[in-house]
Structure formats: C-alpha cells, structure tokens
Amino acid sequence: MIVVTGGAGFIGSNIVKSLNKRGYTDILVVDNLTKGEKFKNLVDCDIADYQEKDIFLERLDTYDSIEAIFHQGACSSTTEWDGHYIMTNNYDYSKALLHYCLNHNAAFIYASSASVYGDGKVELPLNMYGYSKFLFDKYVSSFLTSCKSQIVGLRYFNVYGSREQHKGTMASVAYHFNQQLLTGDEVKLFEGTDGYADGEQRRDFIYVNDVANINLWFLDNPDKSGIFNVGTGRSQTFNDVARAVIAWHKRGKIKYIPFPEHLSGRYQSFTQADISALHNIGYENSFYTVEEGVKDYLNNINGNG
C-alpha cells in the first residue's frame, strides 16, 4: 500500500493521479476535509481508502504493509503565525511518520519548501511555515547517513497547476491571474520592490506535473535519499506569468498595484532553485517553461479555448 498524506490537496492529488496512471490503486489518502471542496480533487482518482489525518496517526502502528509514504500534508499558509498549530501539524506529525518509516523500512518522501531559504540562498526562514520545514529538514539530516530506509525531502519552489483551486489566497499567481481575466480585463501585479521594477520580481515557477514526476522518480529509485531543491533551475518574472495568461485568453492588460505593507520584509522577490544535487543523483527529465506550463494548465481548467 502507498500512503499519500495531503492526498486531497494540490500536490498530493496530482501524485495520486500520477500513481493511477501507472496502475497503482492500492492507495490510502490521508487528509483533513474540513475544507470539503477538496473532495473534487479526488473524484477522478482511484484510491483504496481515505482516512482523516488524526485517525491515521492514531492507527499508524497498526499498519504493516505500507511500501511508501508521500507526505504532502501540512499547514502551508505562509501568513499563519500560530506557532503551536504550525509545529503540531508540520513538525510533530512529520516526525511521527518518519519514525514509522524508519522502523518499518518504508520509503518516506516528504514535502519540504523553498521557504526555508527566506529571501536568499541561506537557510533563514521568514515565517512560521518556513521555520517548521527548516527544523524538520534539520531533524531528518541526522538520520540520512545511518538509516536503511529511503528518506527524501523535496524543497518545492513556486508550484502551480491543476487541482489548486481550493487554496484560496495561497493558490498560485497563474491561478489568480486566470480568475481575474475570467471576470474582468485586468491582471493585477505588485509594483516594484527590493530594487525590482513593476512586476519584475522573479520566482522559480515549477509546473505541478514536473513535481509529481520527481516524486515518482524517487519511488522508482529507492537507493536515492537526501534533501533536494525542486524547481526548474531558472527564474522567470511575474510579468512572464501574466503575459502567458493574457496570451492564452487573447485579451487583457496588466495593472500594477501598491506593494502590501504587511508583506514587507516577509516576501521573496527572487527565487531560483539550485538543482545540481537533483541532477547529480541522476534526474534528467526536462521541465516546463512558464509559457508551456501555463498554456497546458489553462487548457486543463478552462478547456482548450
């Protein structure tokens, strides 16, 4: 059996769907469906069972046939400042799953985050979410050289794509730009900040199909462990994303809005993944560009136009 925590969420449900395409159906999805609209992400997926995350944790030691856990579940809000809530959900829960896998020789492939880097390449998170991921990565590192189980941490950069509609304000800019053009004729971007011109802040935007492919590659290569950046290795501007969305709709214009004060000092104006470690262990697949990924994404959620 394969377990996908956060399996009704954005990346988790894409992993489930990718497993289905390979013929895997003995899948246990673990999630918290308080936000019930996430069920839509599972409607076209073939799974064996579903379990709420608290119940799964209570019953974890009763399972003896888990081959791998794709641990995608977490509170992913970068604006959540309840430290107790974040650490219970993101840190303590992850440790429990890690130790299960270590004790049962199961693969543990988990979602970390580029937020551990804060506003640069040094590990200096700017928010509670980033700190919870940073601390767990550090905890995992102490086991990597001595354990027999596969342990993989994937530091996701800016992921976008299908099945993110439930994320609200935390959905990707590609999603929000698309929604803006479905109801109006303007795409809204932040004015310049940190020395960047209007809309020229840069991120390493990675399409969710590429993220799912990387997760499954590690399943195929159980001898590979470690903590890896998951991005394309190149940065593109928010203007690039906006132009790609406008190109798909064949209409629209960009409007720049004031940079929010509450994000000052807590905002990444530039990210670009160093994916040399991923290449060095043998991952050779190519990645979608923003232009390619946005086109495929909007074809999926809007129809082929």
Active site residues: 129, 167
Closest by CA to 173, choosing from 290, 61, 289, is 290
Under 8 Å between Cβ of 58 and 34: no
Which pair of structure tokens corresponds to residue 6?
């956060």
